[in-house]
Amino acid sequence: MDIILLVIYIFSLSVLFLFASHYLFIIFFYFKTKDKFSLENNQVSLNNEEYPFVTVQLPIYNEKYVVERILDSVINFEYPKDRFEIQVLDDSTDETKLIVEGLVRHYKSIGYNIKHIRRKERVGFKAGALKNGLAMANGEYIAIFDADFKPNKSFLKTTLPYFADEKIGMVQTRWEHLNRNESWITKAQAIALDAHFTLEQLVRNRAGFFMNFNGTAGIWRKECIIDAGNWQFDTLTEDFDLSYRAQIKGWKFRYLNDYVSPAELPSNINALKIQQFRWGKGAVETCIKLMPTILKSDFGLLIKLESIFHLTSYLVFPFMLLVALLNIPILLIKINANFEYVFNYLSVFLIASISTTIFYGLSQKILHEDWKEKMMEFPYFLLSSMGLAVNNTKAVFEAIIGKRTEFIRTPKQGNQSKWKNDYLLKYNRKNSQIKNIIMNYMLHLELVLFLYFVLALIFSIRYQLFMDLFFQLMLLASYGLIWLYSIKPNFKIWKTN
């Protein structure tokens, strides 16, 4: 039995090592392709006499806290008023629809081409709303923003010139964080997203690998969307799915790392769980749907290899959880002095943590002059990543077995303090999806794991396995924090009541 457990443990560590080594692959290509596009970026400009007509799509679902902010931002685009239209794709079932009606009425009265589009049924969720709006869109280009964004005025003038290349189907901008410093939760997300955009997206685009539209803060050529098969809703990541289908068809994308679109990060752990679950499950669904086509295609080996890592990135979480669950059995094997020679070689897996630190450190150095201070927040990222393993593992396995679930939006509260209590009540008591996340067995499993790692810590101290203490403390802290911050909103609601 010891041999079986050890083999599973080493295999799991090997998978994690492989994904961590991929970070070195990305870093290598970052420096190899560092100068690509730099001259071209400086030469791109928009011909002021030929403004193309643009449709700006705003998919909305119960966004009363942020809908006014996104509409105000889009209305103020520095672009001729008669050369763009705004579609508010509103599937709301709460008072958001009344707020939107008032805003649309006001902006129409002062000359803006803005439409309030509502559907009888929320078929296909966000993808269905985008597809429905596209059928009515007059624009040659389709800009898309989620409700929690605050795009800059120059967005259209900055992105549209890249479509001078007729092969370009989509232009994506980098996300910037409106509320990075709000809590350890937002700081952890900022570290993760900075690395995704500044290294992964940038390198994939420069090196000619497949990259993805991030669902918002980007602009599409309408012809590209239609040619790639339009928006489809058989996965939870319609953006990931369409991106790959478009590039398989031969369309090229451009990513602008030097141009940002500010957005709000989920400010509590339950909202983050919803977002991560959707991203993780959707990524695996997209992998199952499209990987056979990619592997059979004529694309080069490196492109296929990078696509495998890209589409399967959330598989790290089941193996991360498996390594954690094997903690005490492996400790017992060590205590019994079995296979001591094997454990002497397992230190090689420390390279994985080194490459991970270098990867995220480099992204912060690229973006921030005070990157050393920003990297002091790196432990927040590690804690959240380990603690979310249960949530994300569930997402992965649901995708693998083909279980269908609805698209659950990520709750946003905006930056207005007047909404705080209302937000807590609405999304932690009345919203059934979040209530289920708080009260279901997943929360109890996180608590059990926390207690499990307390026991593992006691074992390590009792048998003087001091080399394992740091790992035990990290696991204990990660699951403890995730569990504590998952139930924290309930206490606030009880206090409010």
Can you tell me the distance from the alpha carbon of 78 to that of 152, in angstroms, rounded to the nearest whole number?
Answer: 9
Element (DSSP H or E) covering residue 78: none
Q: Is residue 37 classed as helix, strand or coil in its secondary structure?
A: coil
Average pLDDT over the chain reads 89
* Apex 281 CA angle, 275 and 282, nearest 5: 85
Q: Are 315 and 345 in contact (CB under 8 A)?
A: no
Can you tell me the distance from the alpha carbon of 191 to that of 377, in angstroms, rounded to the nearest whole number?
Answer: 8
Q: Is position 91 annotated as part of the catalytic site?
A: yes
Query: At residue 472, does pLDDT exceed 90?
Result: no
Name the catalytic one among 148, 194, 239, 241. 239
Query: At residue 240, does pLDDT exceed 80?
Result: yes
Query: At residue 473, does pLDDT exceed 50?
Result: yes
How confident is residue 432, by pLDDT bands cut at 50, 70 and 90?
very low
pLDDT of residue 419: 47
Can you tell me the distance from the alpha carbon of 250 to that of 247, in angstroms, rounded to the nearest whole number?
Answer: 5
pLDDT of residue 331: 85
pLDDT tens per residue across span 69-87: 999 999 999 999 999 999 9
pLDDT tens per residue across span 369-425: 999 999 999 999 999 999 999 999 999 999 999 998 888 888 777 755 444 445 444
Distance of CA 452 to the CA centre of its chain: 29
Q: What is the DSSP letter of 149?
A: B
Residue 369, Cβ neighbours under 10 Å: how many? 8
pLDDT of residue 37: 64
Indicate whether this model's pTM tops 0.85: yes
Q: Are 397 and 285 in contact (CB under 8 A)?
A: no
Q: Where are the domains of the chain?
A: 2-28+314-496, 49-267
pLDDT of residue 415: 58
Can you tell me the distance from the alpha carbon of 106 to that of 236, in angstroms, rounded to the nearest whole number?
Answer: 34
Can you tell me the distance from the alpha carbon of 193 to that of 212, in angstroms, rounded to the nearest whole number?
Answer: 14
What is the architecture, at CATH level 2, of domain 49-267? Answer: Alpha-Beta Complex (3.90)
Residue 242, Cβ neighbours under 10 Å: how many? 27
pLDDT of residue 338: 67
Q: Is position 239 annotated as part of the catalytic site?
A: yes
Place of tokens 């092969």: 167
pLDDT of residue 387: 95
Name the catalytic one among 91, 146, 194, 468. 91
